[in-house]
């Protein structure tokens, strides 16, 4: 019961996007799939994001969590 009463901390959505990468997969027919958790900010499909420190920019095609699409 005590664990059920604990509230998850809120993530600051008003700050810049920070998404530390845990892994990167290259999947045939899909492309490069970075895996990580959003620590701050907001991530949405069709957003253009920059990866540091290389400053590589790319567009987010889709977002999934446990094989379910998120919006």
Q: What is the CATH number of the domain that holds 32?
A: 2.40.30.10
The tokens of 11 are what? 């993530």
Kindly provide the residue ranges of all beta strands, DSSP E only, lying in 1-71, ordered along the sequence: 21-27, 31-36, 48-51, 56-59, 63-65, 68-70
Could you read off the pLDDT of 4-34 as tens digits, one per residue? Answer: 899 988 889 999 999 999 999 999 998 999 9
Domain that holds residue 33: 2-70
Total domains in the chain come to 1
Average pLDDT, the chain: 92
Which pLDDT value is given to residue 35? 95
pTM of the entire predicted model: 0.72
């Amino acid at each position: 019961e005590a664990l059920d009463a604990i509230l998850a901390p809120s993530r600051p959505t008003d700050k810049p996007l920070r998404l530390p990468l845990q892994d990167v997969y290259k999947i045939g027919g899909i492309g490069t799939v970075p895996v990580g958790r959003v620590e701050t900010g907001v991530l949405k499909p069709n957003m253009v994001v920059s990866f540091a420190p290389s400053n590589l920019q790319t567009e987010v095609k889709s977002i999934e969590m446990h094989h379910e699409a998120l919006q």
